[in-house]
Amino acid sequence: MTRPEGREPVTSRSTAPPTVEAFDTAARYRLLDRRHEHWLLASMLLVLHTALDAGLGGRLASALMLAHLGLFFLWQPIWQRDQRLDVPALGVIATLIAAMLWLNWWLVFAWLTLLIGIVAGRSFSTRRERYVYMLSLAFLVSELLINCTARLFLERPVAPGIAGAFRLGLYLLPAVIYALPPITVPPRNPFPVDFFRGITFALLTALLAAFSALMSLRFDIEYPLALITTLMALGVFLFALSWIARPGAGSFGLLAVWEKSVLNIGTRFEEWLAKVSQLASRRPDADEFLDDAVAELVDIPWISGAAWRSETSAGQHGETLGHALDLDTDELAVTLYTERAVSSALLIHCRLLVQVLGHFYLAKRRENEQAGAAHLRAVHETGARVTHDIKNLLQSLHTLAAALESGGDAQQEQRGLELLKRRLPDVAQRLRVALDKLQRPGEAVTERIAIADWWRRLATRLADENITFETALAEPLAVIPGECFDSVLDNLVDNARHKCAAGAATRIVVRLEASAERVLLSVRDDGEPLSPELARQLFRRPLPSATGLGIGLYQAAELARVHGCTLALEENVPGCVRFALSYPLVPD
């Protein structure tokens, strides 16, 4: 028979029955699968209750307890199931097997207390798993309080009605756990048991059992009544404890005091951290801060000395004797000296201290680097602005020199000397301002001048230029930053001159307006507009340009921003390219 097209060939499979080894492997994997862990737990509890219900003197009880112990090792959450057992673990297993063979109620009490601690300390991944372990915990606590404690401490057994009800209920609890479907959980953690929580719950349960038995004997009352009374007293005690340790109690809460003690471990961590924070604000240099911070670290009682080493400094404080503990961070190596060996808890604490110190030191180093970079940037930007100002001053000096050299008769020479007399004081004043910038980089040199006086000085300075001046001064007494206006105007006029020299423009107009709200200085020419791409990038970054529209306008915009002004390209159309410098006036 031919095979239809588009189908894969059928692979022949063996029809031999599966071997016993295959069945054993599959069953073993099902048992070790964590999804069925609650079934193992239910089987372990059921066998335990059956053994205790059968009595401890017979062989049946010993056999059932051995089976219970085997189920315990399959369920236990302490060792990983694929882990090889070492000699101490084998010794523990042998001891438990021997205890199960010579069983008595004291050993049962201890074993139930141990199981309560393991189950109570178990970490949960899902809500269904939490329900399983709460039912298991209720089973073990009931077995300890009702069955074990009464037979161990009391001469009179619990009333038959109560004992029968608990006996039946302890058979039903594992059945309820059996009825739960498989639990889907993430992969198992190596140590999913909180031992501190488990030990606390186990000791409280043992204390409850012993105190209930003591009350029954001391006051000659029935054990169930003594148990209920003890449970109520324990509830009141826990309620009072939770009220004392509530979050709203602030620093007087028991929980806050406990957490503070665990955090500090006698090291005055909060006090040291506060001092380090103060040092970080007082010491601008990173190495000086590090030296003082390590000195504060040595003040901790159990630290006798400390030595440190960084890329730029090294030193030590205190006595470098005793046990040495080397701790390193990315930028810092610290060696702490103690009188005795450091425990694991103090080791974690020491690492925290050194990491905090390292973070503070790294932050101070970055602060120093940023301060240096800011200073260099200020020097660079100041140098760039001064370079541009000096270029404009050279342009003015070239104009003066050309006027002097072109003089042929006495009248022209007299005109050149008058021009030199009129323009030279202004050049000297602007050179003085440029020198002040170089001496104080990063600081804005502000020259406050009345708008009318500045305009008069400007008209005198540019009187011989081919420039048209327009003015509308409604507020002639308004005060402006003169150095900023001079520098920006020189840049704008210089760019317009370049366009006229290249034949792209024929007329330059400088207009000044002063109202009650602002002062507006504009420079326009009748040349071709700037390209949209160039106009969009102006004032944002230096632009290479043959006509001088690059770094000069960028520096002028930055200078205007420092002085509270705004430089913008107001119009960019054929026949009208207008730049405007706006300065808002603050009313008195």
User: pTM of whole model > 0.75?
Assistant: no
**Is-contact 550 542, C-beta < 8 A?**
yes
Length reported for the chain: 588
pLDDT (average), residues 457-484: 81
Predicted pLDDT at 7: 40
Q: What angle, 0 to 180 degrees and rounded to 10, lies between the N-to-C axes of helices 286-298 and 344-405?
A: 160
At 79, list the tokens: 């060792």
pLDDT of residue 72: 86
Is it the case that residue 240 has pLDDT exceeding 70?
A: yes
> To the nearest whole number, what is the mean pLDDT of the chain?
76
The β-bridge partners of 326 are: 335
Q: What separation in angstroms does the CA of 540 have from each of 89, 118, 469, 555, 566?
A: 73, 68, 29, 10, 13
- Give DSSP secondary structure letters for 459-524: HHHTTTSS-EEEEEES-TT-EEEHHHHHHHHHHHHHHHHHHHHTTS-S-EEEEEEE-SSEEEEEEE
Most confident of 9-18, 249-258, 551-560: 551-560
Contact at 8 Å (CB) between 232 and 313?
Answer: no
Please list, in sequence order, all residues whose beta carbon lies within 8 angstroms of the beta carbon of residue 445, skipping any fewer than 6 positions away: 433, 436, 437, 483
Give me the pLDDT at residue 579, please: 93
d(CA 263, CA 345): 10
What's the average model confidence in pLDDT over 478-504?
84
Share of the chain above pLDDT 70, in %: 70
pLDDT of res. 420: 66
Token pair listed for 137: 């915990």
Task: Specify the amino acid at residue 187.
Answer: P
Of residues 544 and 347, which shows the higher confidence score?
A: 347
In Å, how far are 196, 257, 261, 263, 539 from 348, measured between CA atoms?
A: 19, 20, 15, 11, 54
Which CATH class, in words, describes the domain spanning 446-588? alpha beta
Query: 100-104, 193-197, 445-449, 498-502: lowest mean pLDDT where?
Result: 445-449
DSSP labels for 87-129?
HHHHHHHHHHHHHHHT--HHHHHHHHHHHHHHHHTB--SSHHH
Q: Domain limits of the chain? A: 20-244, 263-372, 446-588
pLDDT band at 254 (very low <50, low <70, confident <90, very high): low
* Residue tagged 């003197």 (tokens): 57
DSSP state of 306: E
Question: Rg (Cα) of the chain, in Å, rounded?
Answer: 46
CA nearest neighbour of 459 among 505, 426, 497? 426
Q: Hey, which of 25-39, 74-88, 523-537, 538-552 has the most confident mean pLDDT?
A: 523-537
Q: What confidence category does residue 170 fall into, taking pLDDT thresholds of 50, 70 and 90?
A: confident
Residue 481: phi and psi, rounded to 5, are -75, 105
pLDDT of residue 338: 84
Q: Quick one: what percent of the chain has pLDDT higher than 90?
A: 6
**What is the rounded distance in angstroms from the CA atom of residue 574 to the CA atom of residue 304?**
81
Model confidence at 329: pLDDT above 80: yes
What's residue 11's pLDDT?
A: 38
Higher pLDDT: 186 or 49? It is: 49
Average pLDDT over every residue of 535-540: 79
| pLDDT tens digit sequence for 113-154 | 999 998 888 776 677 778 888 899 999 998 998 888 888 888
131-134 long-range CB contacts below 8 Å, 24 or more apart? 131/180, 132/38, 132/41, 132/177, 132/180, 132/183, 133/41
